[in-house]
Chain A
Amino acid sequence: MNLTLQIWRQNKPDINNNGNYQNGEGKMTEYKVADISPDMSFLEMLDELNEDLLKKGDDPVAFDHDCREGICGMCSLYINGQPHGPESGTTACQLHMRSFKDGDTIYIEPWRAKAFPVVKDLVVNRSSFDRIMQAGGYVSVNTGVTVDANEIPVAKTIADEAFNMAACIGCGACVAACKNASAMLFVSAKVSQLSLLPQGKAERKKRVERMVAQMDEEGFGACTNTGACSAECPKDIPLSSIARMNREYFEAKITSNNV
């Protein structure tokens, strides 16, 4: 296959060394790649491009990737207007070139959100997600002070639903897909997992309050229930998790343990 690529190139980071926003001066740049095998993964196609660029003495395209099997959540490409590209339930690293046709033009951009500043080209900084998790995405239990695992029975249906929520890989596709750059799907997945399980009940009010507050502080937008996040989620986290988080949040606000 021969393809034309339109790739976002940005040399200067959105945030300078002093922590302030600056104009990264990025722009779309055209590249051609030839003899691409349909069996290649999308990232291997980019590898080929980068090898070519490197040999020509040009700067390769920076993009995040690591496990290349759809589980680490590192890859973050906005392909032809969709996070992780055209296939549903698939990360960019699992996307194969057979999803495209010879002669296609493919547009590749980074996640776009104020809370995900661009580091270089297609690489963004998602530390805001870590800070939301630090605000309460855990059960407060120290190593060693635990009871036997089978002393905490969990109904299979509840455990399975908790697992569905825990499947989130923290890639940020939900934010990239959302016209408001909202992080509700990401936050609600963790809130759901821990409020479903008995282990997470003691802290459920404080958790949802703090995580939502941190989400707002990071500059993510509000949710307007369009559902793009769930439609584009590579792990199929359902929209119902947002509904669950909203219920958790209202209940916490009404009956809060925090003053």
Chain B
Amino acid sequence: MQLDSKVPEGPLAEKWNKHKFDIKLVNPANKRKYDVIVVGTGLAGGAAAASLAELGYNVKAFCFQDSPRRAHSIAAQGGINAAKNYQNDGDSVFRLFYDTVKGGDYRSREANVHRLAEVSVNIIDQCVAQGVPFAREYGGLLDNRSFGGAQVSRTFYARGQTGQQLLLGAYSALSRQVDSGKVKMYTRSEMLDLVMVDGKARGIVVRNLINGEIESHSAHAVLLCTGGYGNVFFLSTNAMGSNATAAWRAHRKGALFANPCYTQIHPTCIPVSGGHQSKLTLMSESLRNDGRVWVPRTKELAEKVRSGQLKANDIKEADRDYYLETKYPAFGNLVPRDVASRNAKMACDDGRGVNKEGQAVFLDFRDAIKRDGKDLISAKYGNLFQMYHKITDENPYEVPMKIYPAVHYTMGGLWVDYNLMTTVPGCYALGEANFSDHGANRLGASALMQGLADGYFVIPYTIGDYLARMPYDKVATDHPEFKKAEQEVKDRIAKFVGKSEGTKTVDEFHKELGKIMWEYCGMARNTEGLTKAKKMIQELRADFHKNVKVSGGDKEFNQTLEKVMRVADFMELGELMVDDALNRSESCGGHFREESQTDEGEAKRKDDEFSYVAAWEYKGENQQAELHKEALEFENVKLTQRSYK
């Protein structure tokens, strides 16, 4: 299979404009003849559904939650980047582009990233016009902050709830279109398969989660805006329902899956405490602006902290190892996420972790409070301190926080071309569900930017190019292909329903899968571990299909059934992530291969061998996936080794 990225010719800065002119348009009067399905109602899906309906297309939007407003974009805290240069500090579209490609460790497509930087400025205009209450200065103009180690202040924010406010903006635009009759909204509906007719995506099969009915929906194009797959790890900062099923089902129908091993492990999360934990909570990384990361200098001291004989505040200055400040004097505690995470792991692997489980480091505000006063620290981080206090029952104004890295975001996803189309004609992937813009590592405040860029400003143009070539004819849902897909879904469900004799619960299997992934395909990976993990996942999957215990029936509200279907797909995706990690024997971004490091223990890329997108083709159940490569060419940025010393 030849992967054609369809990146337009011409100078980088003119590609998108030129492309918008070159692609075909659908006449305004003809748009109403086309139906578009949008799966997922987060930033990408909500924005796309609203924008396409405004243009005149008939949109059907689907979400598994009880309301489109609950999509997991809502939980994003920090902010959204845009190259507005309102602060007059030297930002520009080109700088945002450059930072994003560099931050992604040179594993993303230049043209896509430049387009993202270009439309970033429109996103802010759009959101403000919708009534999104961004932070403002006293003069009434928008405020910005620096985020994630960026050297300019380009991040727009709404307290610590930027994702919520942006999502509610998209939700309001979507609600308006539902009111106008251009969007038909299906809540508590989960996509379980993609339907192909004559080689094109022509619809989906969903399960109505309230009554369990299997329903088919037909359209001229299908947009998957279904988020990332971080929940493969069981424990992550994702919502409990976040899943990969829609994307995985499309993958099984021919959509290549790109760079599945690129996962982002966020350094500042509340550590795991005990086996009952269901999810991990992220603390905004803005905390690292003032907090100092440290562990005790020796294992012996750490052991005393773990057993409760010694309190953090009683440890003398000389016995504290501020390892980030020592190792990276230029960036200190503000090193990028992957570097901060890896170093926390190294300190804990070294036996110097500070909670009962030995899987935590300190994030200490003692010196900041001494310097700036409690009031100022409270004004900056009050809500985060309160959240931490509530969860852990420890007061961070008095004792250092304990933090540990957690799975947060997945840069990999369905392979898409410049138009955001997957390798299945008519099937698009937007937002975190695609692989397109973040390379091997995503910068802070860039996820919201990409979701909204794809939904508001890219797909409304690029989908026209495809639809303009499509006949208006609709495919009826009693077409044999729909019936076949429905039957496949029913058969899949039937395999799980009534497995009340199973020996282990879905969660138990999911936790085991998570442990394998975290241990061998987490913050550091090597050939031996990955090889072992592949076999372990295969065995676990076989055991899962044989022994998982499911209660209740299929024609009813059944949360166990919902879960088992999702975990079944995670069991397959997990193996592909391991395959990809095994193939990529270089380190880059969030993917650290122990065999490929510099003398100082930093990630070492192998640009000659691995400057490509790894796109995997599904070859059948329990068959080895096939690798395809899209070469990455860099004409506008210079590849360098990232250094934060």
Contact = CB atoms under 8 A, between A and B. Distances in A.
Check if A and B associate: yes
Interface string B543-559: 00000010110001101
Given A66-B65, A68-B279, A60 B142 contact: no
Interface stretch (B128-136, B431-439, B466-474, B621-629): B128-136
A55 B142 contact: no
Interface stretch (B172-180, B308-316, B372-380, B586-594): B172-180
Nearest to B549: A54
B551 A126 contact: no
B239 interface: yes
Contacts of B21: none
A57 B560 CA distance: 12
A229 B171 CA distance: 24
Given A54-B505, A71-B164, A96-B393, A143 B559 contact: no
A24 to B, nearest CB: 12
Given A40-B276, A54-B505, A134-B178, A143 B69 contact: no
A162 B129 contact: no
A23 interface: no
Interface in B186-211: 187, 210-211
Contacts of A144: 122, 126, 456-457, 460
Interface in B556-614: 556-557, 559-560
Contacts of B274: 37, 39-40
Contacts of B158: 163, 166
B125 A147 contact: yes
Interface in A1-16: 13
Contacts of B551: 54, 57-60
Chain B, interface size: which category?
35 or more
A161 to B, nearest CB: 9
Nearest to A95: B390
A153 B140 contact: yes
A96 B140 contact: no
B241 A130 contact: no
Contacts of A246: none
Contacts of B141: 150, 153
Interface stretch (B24-32, B70-78, B99-107, B526-534): B70-78
Contact of A54 (B86, B137, B187, B560): B560
A181 interface: no
Interface in A53-112: 54-55, 57-60, 62, 64-74, 87, 90, 94, 96, 98
A26 to B, nearest CB: 13
Interface string A147-164: 111101111100110110
B131 A200 contact: yes
Contacts of A134: 175-176, 178-179
A146 B126 contact: yes
A153 B70 contact: no
Contact of A73 (B70, B130, B179): B70
Nearest to B456: A143
A39 B393 contact: yes
B260 interface: no
A58 to B, nearest CB: 7
A134 B132 CA distance: 17
Contacts of A96: 390-391, 393
B637 interface: no
B129 A138 contact: no
Looking at B75, B176, B187, the one whose CB has the most chain A CB atoms below 10 A away is: B176
B15 to A, nearest CB: 19
A11 to B, nearest CB: 8
B391 A94 contact: yes
Interface string B117-158: 000001011111111111111111110000000000000001
Interface string A38-51: 11110110011001
Given A72-B65, A130-B178, A143-B456, 4 more contacts: A71-B74, A74-B65, A147-B129, A166-B165
Interface of B: 47, 50-51, 54, 65-70, 72, 74-75, 84, 86, 122, 124-142, 158-159, 161, 164-165, 168, 171-173, 175-176, 178-179, 185, 187, 210-211, 239-241, 273-274, 276-279, 281-282, 387, 390-393, 456-457, 460, 500, 505, 507-508, 549, 551-552, 556-557, 559-560
Interface of A: 13, 17, 37-41, 43-44, 47-48, 51, 54-55, 57-60, 62, 64-74, 87, 90, 94, 96, 98, 119-120, 123, 125-127, 129-130, 133-144, 146-150, 152-156, 159-160, 162-163, 166-167, 169-170, 193-194, 197, 199-200
Q: Which 6 residue pairs across A and B have the least CB separation, nearest first? A: A153-B140, A138-B172, A149-B128, A163-B133, A146-B129, A143-B51
24 contacts: A13-B210, A17-B211, A40-B274, A62-B557, A67-B240, A69-B279, A69-B387, A72-B74, A126-B66, A130-B67, A133-B69, A138-B176, A139-B129, A139-B130, A142-B54, A143-B457, A146-B125, A146-B129, A149-B129, A149-B134, A152-B129, A156-B140, A159-B136, A167-B161
